[in-house]
């Protein structure tokens, strides 16, 4: 019985919406423009309540009315239609925005936009923005309709409150590769940097994503740096929301991937911000921070600054951040700097302490990997030995974790090959995991030597 009543109410509601749509069509076909404007404004207010199938049928009517009004230059009717379409574009998870674009609304809007002014121009821009922001595929329709050129031309002459809408539209269109190519070729990259500097956080984040995509192109990367993109992105990395920080940090990483821009990125104050990202809750932020730190560490002074931040993290109680810091130190320990960055930063005592007492197996495994890597360097090897790592590594040879055993054995094998340290590892040489690693490393080195001989023969 209850189900029957519910179906009855739904049918009654559907009938009322059908009647309302028919009534609206009758009104706009009449000669009373004032009544048509009022009806269209009321439709915009009710659009969020109407069934989607009713709104889908309404869109072509509104687009036709928009087109008709553009030829009669009826500002009130144009404004009402654009406002109604703006409201509808936000609904339906992007489906309605796409229908609006496919029905030809954006082409009509773009034809009116450059010649409009005041409140009408503002509503047209908001409508266009909503259509391309909420409809994922609609950017290409707008670009195909010449929308990119219209927006760029308006940006060159518009300096009032409407500029923010133009920048928001541009940053959305620029997610398309074709749009970025045009923007770059026309020398309009400055507008993208401006988009990342001001506006809503969502819009600035989108513009930062575009900067990252443009930064993949060598010539565009130089232009972005000259326009102040590093400072803008650093500001977002410092003050943005979670999404903005991730996007900005990634874009800065793209820019820093060119050797000429490593120092400018570091000198912009990004290192403490990436250290904060490394300690954040999100795995993506940690991954980006690790990658950028590894890029920036090519420069010795920068590597030392980074390692000092990593030491601070290692001394904290965030196990995930400690593990990520250990990964970065592992990379740093393999760089051919003129001095041992890891040793000078004071990391070695902390690494040994974590290997001994950390409650996290992941941290212990990552730290043991760093120690194994450091053991290939004579100076680091001696510093590790003097800090008391050898007995600890010897005990780990019996650990349940295969990775811990392997890393400990690798380090001890390197210690055994150092004449000054060989006597200290006497307790380890008869342990099977040590012997297995020793044999494995001998085989690897012999294989490497054979490949080297083959390369010499080929030359």
CATH code for the domain in which residue 44 is found: 1.25.10.10
The tokens for 195 are: 């988009």
Instruction: Identify whether 210 is part of a domain.
Output: no
Q: Helix, strand, or coil here: 381?
A: helix
The tokens for 408 are: 């400990």
398-426 per-position pLDDT tens digit? 998 999 999 999 999 999 999 999 999 99
Eight-state DSSP code of residue 337: -
Instruction: Identify whether 377 is part of a domain.
Output: no
Judge contact between 121 and 109, C-beta under 8 A: no
173-208 per-position pLDDT tens digit? 999 999 999 999 999 999 999 999 999 999 999 999
Instruction: Identify whether 273 is part of a domain.
Output: no
Judge contact between 39 and 24, C-beta under 8 A: yes
Strands (E), 108-161: none
Q: Write out the residue range of the structural domain in which residue 48 sits.
A: 33-145
Instruction: Identify whether 214 is part of a domain.
Output: no
Eight-state DSSP code of residue 418: S
Instruction: Identify whether 121 is part of a domain.
Output: yes
Instruction: Identify whether 45 is part of a domain.
Output: yes
The tokens for 82 are: 């654009």
> Residue 457 has what pLDDT?
56
Of 163, 229, 160, the C-alpha closest to 190 is: 229
Which positions of the chain have pLDDT values less than 70?
1-13, 452-459
CA distance linking residue 233 with residue 205, whole number of Å = 9
Instruction: Identify whether 125 is part of a domain.
Output: yes
First to last CA, the chain: 90
Judge contact between 168 and 203, C-beta under 8 A: yes
Q: What's the structural domain count of the chain?
A: 1
> Residue 107 has what pLDDT?
94
The tokens for 326 are: 């250990």
């Amino acid at each position: 019985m209850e189900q029957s009543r519910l179906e009855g109410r739904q049918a009654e509601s559907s009938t009322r919406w059908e009647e309302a749509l028919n009534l609206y069509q009758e009104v706009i076909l009449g000669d009373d423009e004032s009544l048509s404007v009022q009806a269209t404004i009321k439709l915009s207010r009710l659009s969020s309540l109407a069934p989607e199938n009713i709104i889908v049928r309404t869109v072509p009517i509104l687009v036709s009315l928009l087109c008709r009004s553009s030829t009669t230059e009826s500002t009130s009717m144009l404004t009402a239609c654009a406002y109604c379409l703006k409201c509808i574009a936000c609904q339906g998870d992007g489906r309605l925005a796409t229908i609006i674009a496919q029905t030809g609304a954006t082409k009509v809007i773009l034809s009116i936009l450059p010649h409009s002014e005041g409140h009408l121009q503002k509503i047209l821009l908001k409508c266009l923005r909503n259509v391309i922001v909420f409809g994922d595929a609609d950017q290409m329709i707008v670009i195909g309709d010449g929308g990119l050129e219209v927006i760029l031309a308006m940006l060159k002459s518009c300096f009032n409150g409407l500029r923010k809408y133009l920048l928001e539209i541009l940053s959305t269109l620029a997610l398309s590769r074709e749009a970025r190519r045009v923007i770059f070729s026309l020398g309009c990259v400055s507008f993208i940097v401006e988009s990342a500097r001001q506006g809503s956080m969502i819009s600035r984040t989108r513009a930062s994503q575009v900067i990252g995509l443009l930064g993949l192109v060598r010539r565009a990367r130089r232009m972005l740096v000259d326009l102040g993109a590093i400072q803008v992105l650093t500001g977002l990395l410092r003050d943005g929301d979670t999404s903005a920080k991730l996007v900005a940090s990634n874009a800065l990483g793209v820019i820093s991937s060119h050797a000429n821009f490593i120092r400018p990125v570091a000198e912009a104050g990004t290192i403490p911000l990436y250290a904060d990202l490394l300690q954040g809750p999100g795995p993506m932020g940690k991954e980006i921070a690790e990658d950028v730190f590894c890029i920036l560490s090519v420069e010795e002074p920068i590597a030392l600054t980074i390692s000092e931040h990593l030491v601070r993290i290692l001394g904290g109680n965030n196990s995930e951040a400690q593990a990520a810091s250990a990964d970065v130190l592992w990379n740093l320990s393999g760089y051919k700097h003129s001095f041992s960055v890891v040793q000078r930063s004071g990391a070695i005592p902390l690494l040994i302490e974590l290997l001994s007492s950390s409650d996290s197996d992941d941290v212990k495994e990552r730290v043991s990997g760093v120690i194994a890597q450091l053991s290939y360097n004579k100076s680091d090897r001696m510093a590790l030995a003097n800090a008391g790592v050898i007995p600890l590594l010897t005990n780990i040879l019996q650990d349940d974790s295969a990775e811990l055993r392997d890393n400990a054995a690798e380090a001890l094998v390197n210690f055994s090959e150092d004449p000054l340290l060989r006597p200290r590892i006497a307790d380890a040489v008869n342990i099977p995991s040590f012997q297995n690693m020793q044999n494995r490393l001998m085989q690897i080195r012999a294989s490497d030597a054979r490949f080297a001989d083959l390369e010499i023969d080929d030359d």
